[in-house]
């Protein structure tokens, strides 16, 4: 029985440590208290998960562990606000951060406010640690407890970036007669339009 309490204490310690590290540990991409406040203020209940992994595919596995963490009573499906922090050793790559982000992005609402941070920690050799805080759930999703079943790894769906229409070059702006514009006198004098 004492082992069960030790394990519960470890889970709680990870949660408290994860939140404090997100705010206080400087990194490559920092998350500060204002970010946490923006996601959590008036968003209802919050869920938190922590995941660790090593070896090949460690970032994806850590992200899956974080969103399926024992700290989470339900899934983060449909969350409208998410903060996640990816911490790894000097060998952490941008590609791994992107893979972890894809796992988390695929689990939340398409309109979610997502803020993430990335930290390099020399103490984490070959290991990735991901902390996720999710808020703003639909009441239907929030009230349904998650099913505890083994999940097969699946690739995260890719979101395609839609190209934005190109802006018109500034030199193609149509000329407008100056008499219909309300241009201050000092600007007219400077541009040679006189009084």
Q: pLDDT tens digits for 69-105?
A: 665 666 777 788 888 999 999 999 999 999 999 999 8
- Kindly state whether residue 151 falls inside one of the protein's structural domains: no
- Kindly state whether residue 111 falls inside one of the protein's structural domains: yes
Which segments of the chain have a pLDDT < 50? 139-153, 161, 169-173
In 10 A of CB 12, how many CB atoms? 11
Q: What's the chain's Rg over C-alpha atoms?
A: 24
Query: What is residue 161's predicted lDDT score, i.e. its pLDDT?
Result: 46
Query: What is residue 55's predicted lDDT score, i.e. its pLDDT?
Result: 92
- Kindly state whether residue 27 falls inside one of the protein's structural domains: yes
- Kindly state whether residue 184 falls inside one of the protein's structural domains: no
Tokens of 190: 């400077």
CATH of the domain at 26: 3.30.1330.20
- Kindly state whether residue 177 falls inside one of the protein's structural domains: no
Q: Which residue has the tokens 């400077």?
A: 190
Query: What is residue 73's predicted lDDT score, i.e. its pLDDT?
Result: 64
- Kindly state whether residue 89 falls inside one of the protein's structural domains: yes
- Kindly state whether residue 9 falls inside one of the protein's structural domains: yes
Instruction: Kindly report the backbone phi and psi dihedral angles of residue 158, in degrees, each rounded to the nearest multiple of 5, phi listed first.
Output: -90, 135
pTM of the model: 0.63
- Kindly state whether residue 166 falls inside one of the protein's structural domains: no
| Domains in the chain, number | 1
Q: Which domain holds residue 65?
A: 2-143
């Amino acid at each position: 029985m004492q082992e069960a309490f030790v394990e519960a204490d470890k889970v709680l310690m990870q949660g408290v440590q994860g939140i404090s590290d997100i705010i206080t540990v400087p990194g490559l991409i920092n998350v500060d208290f204002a970010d946490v406040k923006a996601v959590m203020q008036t968003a209802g209940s919050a869920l938190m998960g922590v995941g660790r992994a090593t070896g090949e595919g460690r970032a994806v596995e850590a992200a899956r562990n974080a969103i399926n963490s024992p700290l989470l009573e339900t899934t983060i499906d449909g969350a409208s606000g998410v903060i996640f922090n990816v911490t790894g050793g000097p060998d952490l790559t941008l590609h791994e951060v992107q893979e972890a982000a894809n796992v988390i992005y695929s689990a939340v609402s398409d309109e979610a406010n997502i803020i993430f941070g990335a930290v390099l920690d020399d103490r984490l050799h070959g290991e990735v640690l991901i902390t996720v805080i999710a808020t703003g759930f639909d009441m239907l999703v929030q009230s349904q407890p998650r099913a505890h079943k083994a999940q097969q790894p699946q690739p995260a769906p890719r979101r395609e970036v839609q190209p934005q229409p190109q802006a018109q070059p500034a030199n193609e702006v149509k000329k407008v007669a100056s008499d219909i514009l309300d241009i201050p006198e000092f600007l007219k004098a400077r541009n040679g339009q006189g009084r």
